[in-house]
Amino acid sequence: MCSAALLAVIAAAAAGARFGLLMVTVRGISMEPTLREGQRVLAARRQVVRPLRVGDIVVCHPPPLPGQPPPGPGVPNHGPAVVKRIAAVGGQTVTAGGVIREVPAGHYWVRGDGAHTYDSDHYGALAERSLVALMVGRPRSPGPGG
């Protein structure tokens, strides 16, 4: 019985890798109340999903935080992956800091759901290549006793 369970886990991992699925752990409070610190979400790599839309929750790479050293040669110019919600897509406008801004074509404006968030309102629109995955689900928490 134990070997059957192990085989099922290995098969699920292989299927996830084949279809570009990622298990992502939320860090920080920027997506509360929708997602909480430590919660895990399932995300599909961008190349295997539909076009992104306003309201989608995505895994993305924002620019480095202020004060972080620039990356070395051959290292992508971005900070660690974060989870945010798409607020606007290329061609749409957003209001940030009292200023109306147009999101350039091929870019996305992302925001956290919470009150304390470092997002596009601080660093601007993200290029499409900065958005790496679309959230497609949340594993269910085990019920009582399981």
Sketch the domain layout of the chain as residue ranges: 21-137
Nearest to 134 by CA among 35, 55, 68: 55
Structure tokens at 14: 């292989």
Helix (H) or strand (E) holding 21: strand 21-25
Q: Which CATH architecture has domain 21-137?
A: Ribbon (2.10)
Structure tokens at 88: 């606007």
pLDDT, position 109: 97
pLDDT, position 5: 38
Q: Residue 63 CB: number of other CB atoms within 10 A?
A: 14
- 61 touches 78 (CB < 8 A): yes
pLDDT, position 146: 46
pLDDT, position 64: 74
pLDDT, position 102: 97
Residues of the chain with pLDDT under 70: 1-19, 48-49, 68-79, 140-146
pLDDT, position 89: 97
pLDDT, position 138: 81
Cα separation, 137 vs 139, in Å, equals 7
